[in-house]
Structure 1
Amino acid sequence: MHKMRTTIDIPEELVLEAMKLTHIKTKTDVIKEGLNTLIRKEKLKNLKNFKGTIDLDINLNELRKR
């Protein structure tokens, strides 16, 4: 994974609360965890959009006979 050094303004109280709640010791690690959580959440949201749209051509009655 490539690293990127950047300067951003983040409300200190948000970072401190996140560190306290997660017991993550460094600002860098808590920000990385926050980004990873956001990415997972969005990927799950995108997967839910496919719910019921894929036809697997499964016959439940035939499966039950096995």
Structure 2
Amino acid sequence: MTKDLGDLDAQALADAAEFYGTTTPSETVNAALRDAADRVQRVRALAELVEIAKTGQFDELLDKRNRR
């Protein structure tokens, strides 16, 4: 892992630290990177579900008679 955080936006870093509850720049950047990676995975999973739904595999769930 690299320790060089480069030239960071100080206000954005402070805002992110407040949001994530972190105390060091490294913790803040790592929290933001994990959050971004998690968001990407959720977006991909949602897109996959949309594609599955387009095939009609969830249609029986829309029929109220099939609900419990």
With the shorter chain as reference, the TM-score category is 0.5 to 0.7
Q: Which residue of 2 aligns with 1:34?
A: 32
TM-score, with structure 2 as normaliser: 0.65
Give the conservation status (yes or no) of the 8 Å contact 2:5–2:26: no
- Residue segments in structure 2 that go unaligned for 5+ positions in a row: 61-65
Question: Counterpart amino acid of 1:15?
Answer: L
Matches of residues 20-59 of structure 1 in structure 2 within 5 Å?
A: 20-54=18-52
Q: What is the deviation of 1:46?
A: 0.8
Q: Mark the CA change 1:19 to 1:52 in structure 2 (over 3 Å): closer, same or farther.
A: closer
Q: What is the deviation of 1:7?
A: 4.3
Give the total of aligned pairs: 57
Give the conservation status (yes or no) of the 8 Å contact 2:13–2:25: yes
Segments of 4+ moved more than 4 angstroms: none
